[in-house]
Chain A
């Protein structure tokens, strides 16, 4: 059966960029169709942000209890815990289901039609969707491409069997005894730490000279220290070569050129993600590319009129909240509003233990941009709340202009600092100066006081150090 649907807006992809674009378009009264072959929510809800945070939480909780089985400062003693991992995964799946199902509800509420099936663009206005009931042709006045990204594969270690991507790592049937993580970026470390906490013997293999290489050394130091405490082996400047002959070990080449084998029950490859540019007809559209991603302007307009692209398909930073902001904006542009993507800050959070937050410019980026800057940080060691949570590692750091004290960037590392990202981004979007942050009462006792203190310190009068 072939059926043709006509609409004003076609959104190809139901991930965080696509579903937000569809909802907003629906709100604005545009007749909208969203094409998605999987359950709605994309990588983020199904196999990314949300399930990984669930597993991280499970790991945290398990490790916390484990910690109390031995000597501890709090004087708590418990029996050695056990983990019913299948139940853990099922709990995680429940959360995913609730969230993805919720999107379906929001679609209905905003009169967005969901066409379930993988779509292929035939031309800039037409998409053929392979649904269970046959091909559905969607003809649209405007198209929003939001196909997202997929994990990068290493040719010598193709996914399959015990070589897994982050997707599989979130749905294992048991906690692997020996887990080797290839790639010490944020995805690999988040999952590696979670499994280490749940009992895996984890080895991280990183080709560069340090893990989390996109962040500066000071910022990642508390994380690196904690990796050691968690018993995670980190091998830097080490290249993954392939599987051993028996298929049970990973063969690596260390920095001094030696070959070593690492016995592994599972090998998790997290060497990055790439824009999903195949399998949906991009080649037929002949859009201008920016390297391997679709080129867009500040309105997310591609080289073809009426065709927009958002999210991971358009490159770094591949973050759900960026895609969402783009999606919202594009829907408004299609509805006739004048919009450009003018965000000052796309904050990035790394849910390692401790967590990392960056918003705005790093000191290095600010210098490169030609700013005369001052950089100051406040350590959580001097923060009361951090002490009471046994998490004194870390700091808040502010990069500000020397001339007018405008804040250009904020970085933090520490337990739970992900929640500070909102304050950081708000400060940046509002164009706050050091004086604004220093003059804002930050509730005591909270870790957020570290933000105020860092500003005070930069102004030369920190109160607690």
Chain B
């Protein structure tokens, strides 16, 4: 019998560490070759780690939520034969020490960093103190608090009205301890006059995986980028007429068109007047990379949180092509089958909440990009035209720009171009 140790694999170019987001096995489990052991998350994608051998799980060293350097041993399997080339660890010895001995960490930047040593942490957020004596039944309106005469007298002496004190006893009886808790402030007062009661539950959720990734990226974007947000309304009445027509006359194999492919077309076309909005700004190097391509990231809600799959080369696609890509990527993002490559490389982003788009939003730029276009809901509104009100379909675009690169004028010009294109949908399809 030997021990086969498995390292955090190199999951992508330039990636030095990954986060373990899920363990599919536990100690003692028998695994076969190619069984999935764990899921790790890199920059954007989740990668499954298969077992290279048959064996039994002997030890799990990586903890969920922990950033682990590539090359670090994360799991040890007991296998037939000699095991792999990592020397066997004496039983008494601690796993991390074995790790120090581990040879050939190809590119592990911190080979000393043991997988189960905690990451350097900031001072932990103080936990809310455990709350005592709070779970009394709510008291119906006008219902007298139940308490023994001694408790009532103590309350009166302390100037406390018992109807505000939680009773934890049977039938909501207020005990001396309940009164103590109220006096010491450990007990939230009863909301008198309703069956409502304060919910003092505190649940702890480790921010890991995609959520942590989103948090980091949002934090980074907001910290680095001075956002300006510009809102304009677009009359999409004609566009909607066209869309309805296309949907009514489309071929069976063509996807149903939403408004997004049209907006993406307009975004790609409008880059002609403001090319630098399809850029990456490397502020560490003071370098702006402006792309000829319109790789449009589309913010998509998934069960795990926000993902941004990318419609590549939107400038080269027609409306059906974009629609196909949008549908395919959205489905892949939702069912988790999306590939890492499909989640990276966008040069400008479109954010849409569909029907829930509201009237104004303040989208956060998908760093290191410099622009994001937000789509608000389409609503029929009265518009004053030719001496009278007419119902028009109006949609707002709320867009944010990196003010370090994009001046207000540039931003306005880009959005106005999009507006003009969308309000005159025929021009979307004219080669210029």
1/0 contact trace for A192-220 toward B, CB 8 Å? 00000000000000000000000000000
Instruction: Give chain A residues whose Cβ lies under 8 Å from the Cβ of B146.
Output: 406, 431
Q: When the two chains form their complex, are residues B156 and A431 in contact, meaning their CB atoms are under 8 A apart?
A: no
Instruction: For B171, give its contact among A337, A344, A405 (CB under 8 Å).
Output: A405
Q: Is B239 part of the contact surface with A, judged by Cβ < 8 Å?
A: no
Q: When the two chains form their complex, are residues A431 and B148 in contact, meaning their CB atoms are under 8 A apart?
A: yes
Once bound together, how far apart are the Cα atoms of A436 and B173, in whole Å? 12
Q: When the two chains form their complex, are residues B171 and A401 in contact, meaning their CB atoms are under 8 A apart?
A: yes
Once bound together, how far apart are the Cα atoms of A405 and B172, in whole Å? 11
Nearest CB on B from A24, distance (A): 14
Once bound together, how far apart are the Cα atoms of A401 and B144, in whole Å? 14
1/0 contact trace for B99-140 toward A, CB 8 Å? 000000000000000000000000000000000000001000
Q: Is A435 part of the contact surface with B, judged by Cβ < 8 Å?
A: yes
Q: Is B149 part of the contact surface with A, judged by Cβ < 8 Å?
A: yes
Q: Is B286 part of the contact surface with A, judged by Cβ < 8 Å?
A: no
Q: Is A433 part of the contact surface with B, judged by Cβ < 8 Å?
A: yes
Instruction: For B157, give its contact among A337, A405, A435 (CB under 8 Å).
Output: A337
Nearest CB on A from B430, distance (A): 74
Instruction: Give chain A residues whose Cβ lies under 8 Å from the Cβ of B169.
Output: 431
Q: Is A133 part of the contact surface with B, judged by Cβ < 8 Å?
A: no
Q: Is B147 part of the contact surface with A, judged by Cβ < 8 Å?
A: yes
Q: Is B159 part of the contact surface with A, judged by Cβ < 8 Å?
A: yes
Q: When the two chains form their complex, are residues B170 and A433 in contact, meaning their CB atoms are under 8 A apart?
A: yes
Instruction: Give chain B residues whose Cβ lies under 8 Å from the Cβ of A292.
Output: none
Once bound together, how far apart are the Cα atoms of A433 and B170, in whole Å? 8
1/0 contact trace for B168-195 toward A, CB 8 Å? 0111110000000000000000000000
Q: When the two chains form their complex, are residues B149 and A429 in contact, meaning their CB atoms are under 8 A apart?
A: yes
Query: Please, which residue of chain B has its CB at the minimum distance from the CB of A404?
Result: B171
Nearest CB on B from A368, distance (A): 14
- Known interface pairs A401-B171, A404-B171, A405-B171. Does A429 touch B148 (Cβ–Cβ under 8 Å)? yes
- Known interface pairs A337-B157, A431-B146, A431-B147. Does A342 touch B152 (Cβ–Cβ under 8 Å)? yes
Nearest CB on A from B248, distance (A): 60
Instruction: Give chain A residues whose Cβ lies under 8 Å from the Cβ of B171.
Output: 401, 404-406, 431, 433
Q: Is A430 part of the contact surface with B, judged by Cβ < 8 Å?
A: yes
Once bound together, how far apart are the Cα atoms of A317 and B147, in whole Å? 23
Residue among B147, B157, B171 facing the most chain A CB atoms (10 A cut-off): B171
Secondary structure of the A side of the interface? loop
Once bound together, how far apart are the Cα atoms of A431 and B170, in whole Å? 9
Q: When the two chains form their complex, are residues B157 and A338 in contact, meaning their CB atoms are under 8 A apart?
A: yes
1/0 contact trace for A319-353 toward B, CB 8 Å? 00000000000000000011110101000000000
Quick one: which of A419-465 are within 8 Å of B by CB? Answer: 429-431, 433, 435-436
Once bound together, how far apart are the Cα atoms of A287 and B220, in whole Å? 75
Instruction: For A404, give its contact among B148, B152, B156, B172 (CB under 8 Å).
Output: B172
Once bound together, how far apart are the Cα atoms of A401 and B143, in whole Å? 13
Q: When the two chains form their complex, are residues A436 and B157 in contact, meaning their CB atoms are under 8 A apart?
A: no
Nearest CB on A from B229, distance (A): 54
Chain A's interface size range is 10 to 19
Quick one: which of B38-91 are within 8 Å of A by CB? Answer: none
Nearest CB on A from B160, distance (A): 10
Q: When the two chains form their complex, are residues B156 and A339 in contact, meaning their CB atoms are under 8 A apart?
A: yes
- Known interface pairs A338-B157, A338-B159, A406-B146. Does A431 touch B152 (Cβ–Cβ under 8 Å)? no
Nearest CB on A from B71, distance (A): 62
Instruction: Give chain B residues whose Cβ lies under 8 Å from the Cβ of A401.
Output: 171
1/0 contact trace for A378-421 toward B, CB 8 Å? 00000000000000000000000100111000000000000000
Once bound together, how far apart are the Cα atoms of A258 and B149, in whole Å? 54
Chain B's interface size range is 10 to 19
1/0 contact trace for B306-334 toward A, CB 8 Å? 00000000000000000000000000000
Query: Please, which residue of chain B has its CB at the minimum distance from the CB of A405?
Result: B171
Q: When the two chains form their complex, are residues B156 and A340 in contact, meaning their CB atoms are under 8 A apart?
A: yes
Instruction: Give chain A residues whose Cβ lies under 8 Å from the Cβ of B173.
Output: 431
Query: Please, which residue of chain B has its CB at the minimum distance from the CB of A430?
Result: B148
Once bound together, how far apart are the Cα atoms of A50 and B30, in whole Å? 88
Nearest CB on A from B179, distance (A): 14
Instruction: Give chain A residues whose Cβ lies under 8 Å from the Cβ of B148.
Output: 429-431
Nearest CB on A from B142, distance (A): 9
Residue among B137, B169, B170 facing the most chain A CB atoms (10 A cut-off): B170
Once bound together, how far apart are the Cα atoms of A429 and B156, in whole Å? 16
Q: When the two chains form their complex, are residues A436 and B170 in contact, meaning their CB atoms are under 8 A apart?
A: yes
Query: Please, which residue of chain B has its CB at the minimum distance from the CB of A371?
Result: B143
Instruction: Give chain B residues whose Cβ lies under 8 Å from the Cβ of A433.
Output: 170-171
Once bound together, how far apart are the Cα atoms of A337 and B157, in whole Å? 7
Query: Please, which residue of chain B has its CB at the minimum distance from the CB of A429?
Result: B149
Nearest CB on B from A342, distance (A): 6
Once bound together, how far apart are the Cα atoms of A343 and B419, in whole Å? 75
Instruction: Give chain B residues whose Cβ lies under 8 Å from the Cβ of A344.
Output: 144
1/0 contact trace for B328-346 toward A, CB 8 Å? 0000000000000000000
Query: Please, which residue of chain A has its CB at the minimum distance from the CB of B148?
Result: A430
Instruction: Give chain B residues whose Cβ lies under 8 Å from the Cβ of A340.
Output: 156
Instruction: Give chain B residues whose Cβ lies under 8 Å from the Cβ of A404.
Output: 137, 170-172
Instruction: Give chain B residues whose Cβ lies under 8 Å from the Cβ of A435.
Output: 170
Instruction: Give chain A residues whose Cβ lies under 8 Å from the Cβ of B159.
Output: 338
Nearest CB on B from A396, distance (A): 20
Nearest CB on A from B211, distance (A): 42
Once bound together, how far apart are the Cα atoms of A430 and B169, in whole Å? 11
Nearest CB on A from B165, distance (A): 13
Once bound together, how far apart are the Cα atoms of A340 and B148, in whole Å? 14
Nearest CB on A from B208, distance (A): 43
Once bound together, how far apart are the Cα atoms of A338 and B169, in whole Å? 25
Nearest CB on A from B170, distance (A): 5
1/0 contact trace for A77-93 toward B, CB 8 Å? 00000000000000000
Once bound together, how far apart are the Cα atoms of A339 and B146, in whole Å? 17
Once bound together, how far apart are the Cα atoms of A433 and B159, in whole Å? 27
Instruction: Give chain B residues whose Cβ lies under 8 Å from the Cβ of A338.
Output: 156-157, 159
Instruction: Give chain B residues whose Cβ lies under 8 Å from the Cβ of A431.
Output: 146-148, 169, 171, 173
Nearest CB on A from B156, distance (A): 5
Instruction: Give chain A residues whose Cβ lies under 8 Å from the Cβ of B172.
Output: 404
Once bound together, how far apart are the Cα atoms of A423 and B157, in whole Å? 26
Nearest CB on B from A185, distance (A): 30
Nearest CB on A from B167, distance (A): 8
Instruction: Give chain A residues whose Cβ lies under 8 Å from the Cβ of B149.
Output: 429-430
Once bound together, how far apart are the Cα atoms of A387 and B148, in whole Å? 35
Nearest CB on A from B34, distance (A): 59
Instruction: Give chain A residues whose Cβ lies under 8 Å from the Cβ of B137.
Output: 404
Instruction: Give chain B residues whose Cβ lies under 8 Å from the Cβ of A339.
Output: 156
Once bound together, how far apart are the Cα atoms of A53 and B215, in whole Å? 83
Residue among A401, A431, A435 facing the most chain B CB atoms (10 A cut-off): A431
Query: What are 14 A-B contacts with C-beta separation under 8 Å?
Result: A337-B157, A404-B137, A404-B171, A404-B172, A405-B171, A406-B146, A406-B171, A429-B148, A429-B149, A431-B147, A431-B169, A431-B171, A431-B173, A436-B170
Known: A338-B157, A404-B137. 6 other contacts (CB 8 A): A337-B157, A338-B156, A338-B159, A339-B156, A342-B152, A404-B172
Q: CB within 8 Å of B: which residues of A?
A: 337-340, 342, 344, 401, 404-406, 429-431, 433, 435-436
Per CB-CB distance, the 8 closest pairs between chain A and chain B, nearest first, are: A431-B146, A404-B171, A406-B171, A431-B173, A338-B156, A430-B148, A433-B170, A429-B149
